[in-house]
């Protein structure tokens, strides 16, 4: 597949009239996504190294609003447009978000967050000039063009959750173990941040929030099914099953990998004034659980192989943790907005149950 074209920076155009999108506004309905039956699934592009990651169900519209520069890239999805305006909306987004599929939660904020989702993007791939998706180049071009005041980067989950499993299945004893994997991912991501993001942020006065990786949510008994679902590639021979004979991959190992990685990432960010580490993990895990598993209200209970967290229940924690969004905390806590989010979650759960039923037990995250 031909790598996506890079966005060519150009003089910043005058701000056009606001583009109306879905947001947290009092109205009869608040939808986190377009209906699952409204359009066919968009075939995913050629994935990044290790070359077999199949991104989750594509839920968001790819139509960019008018004030963004044109791009022919198929590797990112933009927050969907809507026909509703919002009393909390502004012409310029409060926060610009770039990340893998986990950043989809911020599309619930409508125009308050400009969301760039790069399907299947890994943290290591950002620093790889030979990466198929060229996400690092696209990200830098966008920041150079828009020069947002506040940016959130959400990468790393693909590396620790999926690519670790891929290399265990594909390379066996030659695969990197848990500690080596954490070191490699951190080294490549930190290099990209230090040499590309920090100079750009200092030049334009940006504050860059760097999100840690969320805790694992897949129980050991569902890990093989999860790996097969996300790592399979049509026309390619199936990978061997996971084996503990080479490297551990049990729940405790995966949880420790995330904890160690986030600790190192936070330490790195603390050395740069323009970087600020952020995560919501202490709000997600159950402190009474000896294994410190994620609480049920944040899990997709319809699909035990879904690596993603529930948007509607995790959004308020992100809003409180991110200073550019903190003014929305009281708004989200209102009974009207709580009801909107509850209805949005009910709609998602109903659609997911129907999709699982139609697939006769073959689920898709």
pLDDT at 298 exceeding the cut of 70:
yes
So what's the pLDDT on residue 15? 41
Average pLDDT over residues 304-331: 94
Q: Percent of the chain beyond pLDDT 90?
A: 58
Q: Is the peptide bond before 208 cis (omega within 30 degrees of 0)?
A: no
List residues bridging with 21 in a β-sheet.
81
Banded pLDDT at 9 (limits 50, 70, 90): very low
Banded pLDDT at 357 (limits 50, 70, 90): confident
So what's the pLDDT on residue 312? 95
Q: Which of 147, 139, 145 lies closest to 122, judged by CA?
A: 139
So what's the pLDDT on residue 338? 84
Banded pLDDT at 32 (limits 50, 70, 90): low
Banded pLDDT at 30 (limits 50, 70, 90): very low
Q: pTM of the full predicted structure?
A: 0.75
How is residue 155 written in tokens? 């990468």
Q: Which of 317, 312, 313, 315 lies closest to 283, judged by CA?
A: 317
> Does the 76-307 domain belong in CATH 3.40.50.1110?
yes
């Amino acid at each position: 597949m031909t790598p996506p074209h890079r966005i060519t920076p150009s003089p910043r155009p005058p701000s056009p009239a606001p583009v109306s999108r879905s947001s947290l506004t009092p109205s009869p309905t608040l939808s986190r996504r377009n209906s699952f039956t409204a359009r066919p699934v968009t075939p995913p592009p050629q994935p990044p190294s290790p070359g077999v990651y199949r991104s989750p169900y594509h839920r968001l519209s790819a139509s960019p609003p008018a004030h963004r520069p044109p791009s022919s890239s198929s590797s990112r999805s933009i927050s969907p447009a809507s026909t509703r305006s919002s009393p909390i909306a502004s012409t310029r987004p409060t926060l610009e978000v770039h990340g893998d599929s986990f950043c989809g939660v911020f599309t619930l904020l409508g125009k308050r967050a400009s969301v760039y989702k790069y399907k299947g993007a890994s943290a290591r791939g950002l620093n790889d000039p030979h990466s198929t998706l060229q996400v690092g180049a696209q990200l830098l071009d966008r920041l150079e063009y828009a020069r947002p005041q506040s940016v959130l980067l959400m990468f790393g989950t693909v590396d620790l959750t999926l690519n670790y499993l891929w290399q265990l299945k594909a390379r066996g004893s030659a695969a990197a173990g848990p500690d080596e994997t954490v070191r490699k991912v951190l080294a490549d991501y930190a290099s990209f941040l230090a040499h590309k993001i920090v100079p750009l942020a200092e030049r334009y006065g940006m504050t860059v929030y760097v999100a840690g990786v969320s805790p694992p949510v897949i129980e050991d008994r569902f890990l093989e099914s999860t790996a097969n679902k996300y790592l399979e590639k049509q026309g390619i021979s199936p990978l061997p099953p996971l084996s503990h004979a080479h490297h551990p991959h049990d729940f405790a190992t995966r949880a420790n990998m995330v904890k160690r990685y986030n600790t190192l990432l936070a330490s790195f960010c603390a050395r740069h004034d323009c970087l600020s580490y952020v995560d919501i993990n202490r709000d997600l895990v159950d402190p009474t659980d000896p294994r410190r598993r994620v609480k049920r209200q944040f899990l997709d209970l319809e699909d035990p192989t879904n690596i993603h967290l529930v948007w509607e229940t995790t959004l308020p924690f992100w809003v409180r943790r991110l200073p550019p969004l903190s003014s929305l905390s009281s708004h989200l806590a209102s009974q009207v907005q709580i009801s909107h989010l509850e209805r949005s979650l009910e709609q998602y759960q109903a659609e997911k149950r129907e999709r699982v039923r139609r697939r006769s037990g073959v689920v898709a995250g």
